[in-house]
Amino acid sequence: RKKDPDGQGESFYFQLNGVPVFMKGANYIPNDAFLPRVTPEKYEDVVKRAADANMNMLRVWGGGIYENDEFYDLCDKYGILLWHDFMFACSMYPGDNEFLENVRNEAIQNMVRLRNHPSIALWCGNNEIETAWRNWGWQNLYNEEQKKEIWKAYDTLFHKLLPSVVNEYAPGMAYWWSSPTQGLNITDYNRPNRELYSGDVHMWSVWHGKQPFSLYEKYIGRFMSEYGFQSFPEMKTIESFTLPEDRDITTEVLNWHQRSAPGNMLIKTYLDMYYKPALNFEHFLYLNHVLQAEGVSLAMEAHRRAMPWCMGSLYWQINDCWQAPSWSSTDYFGRWKALHYYARRAFSPLLISPEVKNDSLYVYMVSDSLTDQHGVLRISLYHFDGKLLLKREKEVNVPGNASTVVWTEPMQTFTERGSLHDVFLYAEFITGKSKETERYFYFDAPKNLNLAIPEIKHSVQKKGKVYEITLTTDKPARDVYLNSASCDGWYDDNYFDMLPGREYKITFYPKNDCSRLDDLRVVSLAGSYVTQGK
């Protein structure tokens, strides 16, 4: 933490080997409601999922557990840093000597056990207790004398006892007393929020506050340690705990599995904001997945564009402890939702991230590399029927470990070639003969786009233990989703966009004995609506 020279609060970042590093990752909760069921294989699966999605940090949530040694060994192995809460969350705690001594012994045991793990980057006193005490109305339940006693206990535990244990048993380790430090208590969306100027932020105006996804781009703090949006698991997971008659968001079973107060209907409310009605329940699940992915990845990219003001983006959450709708990007069985694929793109080491503001398109490039990269940025404007309307390119220099605007274009350049409901951008960055990264960008909410229904053809070839899937399309296709009802496994890409005239090759890694992949389904956004395409 450092005071900013411009007087705009304090910086908040992690420095690795002398280099400030933007933290990309997610919050982590216990892997199962019944802890003995968590196998070493499941631990490795979730940590590897983080690494595969270009993450470099997980936040161990204070409402969970101090994990088994295997978890920390795996984080060391895969290069995943840990923001580690002490196990206190969302409640005020006693301050009597007996309780405090018990806490001290537990903290010492875990500090001694874990202090030599290079993956642990920070110990944090608690999850959301300070912001709850200040902003959630808890103080209204007590008289002045009681409030002083409760706060004294808080101060002793989180400002004195725990930091003293860290300093004594893990000298040099960073300690942060509460996450978030003040929270983000937005009562007026038109005023500046001082909470964004220092510390870490939990941003829940989207979802709990029922605000649009665009708020993610407006409210960016120094370190975004929680934000998120819910989705149901995919159909195979739903089938593991339902009968056919249960598969509607209003049924008793699906409402019982929903443990967030706003409930399943809030998912539908957001879907109605951004998407057309789904064909059926299975397509509802698909649209829910891309809704979650689009919304949360909008935040990820906004946070990365804002570096060095913002130096961390940890969404809620990577995993699940049971089969249920939740904020997770991978479900209880480890199946990747759309969000996990989107996170891998948004957290890629080299990111193209366009933004429209003040009647102009700003194209940012965000790089994790410690060296500059020089290449050609090519931008193409396509109609949804596949016609190329505009192509431009320029040589650009992408500074290392930075977010940089490399291209600015008046929106008139695009609007004079067609309605923004009929066109989209495709951008690619090329060095030498190699395409380093690419990006599709759309100018409006999906329900306002005049998408044409594509004819997507595919072929499948078995190569050893994996399958290579080759796809082509006659029209631009958005959020192409591959799924097999009989073969469970992992696709090296999914929920991706396609252009006509190209071949796309996807590798499928089956988990079970899958001799054939005859029932592969290919779904796209335009074909998932009740009123399909045009």
Q: Which residues are catalytic?
A: 128
Phi–psi pair at 454, nearest 5 degrees: -85, 155
| The two three-digit tokens of residue 121, written as one number | 């980057």
Q: Give the gyration radius of the chain's Cα atoms.
A: 24
* Cα gap 204→317, rounded to integer Å: 13
| The two three-digit tokens of residue 534, written as one number | 């045009």
CA angle (231 as vertex; 226, 232 as ends), nearest 5:
140
* Cα gap 179→123, rounded to integer Å: 10
- Asked if the bond preceding 454 is cis, omega within 30° of 0, the reply is no
> Please, are residues 10 and 1 in contact by the beta-carbon 8 Å criterion?
yes
> Please, are residues 497 and 427 in contact by the beta-carbon 8 Å criterion?
no
* Cα gap 53→24, rounded to integer Å: 9
> Please, are residues 449 and 274 in contact by the beta-carbon 8 Å criterion?
no
CB contact set of 18 (below 8 Å; sequence gap of 6+): none
> Please, are residues 266 and 274 in contact by the beta-carbon 8 Å criterion?
no
* Cα gap 516→484, rounded to integer Å: 10
Three-class secondary structure of residue 493 per DSSP = coil
Burial 40-69 (b: 16+ CB within 10 A, else e): eebbbbbbebbeebbbbbbbbbbebebbee
> Please, are residues 439 and 353 in contact by the beta-carbon 8 Å criterion?
yes
Residue in 325, 234, 247 with CA at minimum distance from that of residue 281: 247
DSSP code for 43: H
> Please, are residues 386 and 426 in contact by the beta-carbon 8 Å criterion?
no
* Cα gap 344→349, rounded to integer Å: 9
Residue keyed to tokens 């001799």: 515
- Number of CB atoms found within 10 A of residue 479's CB: 25
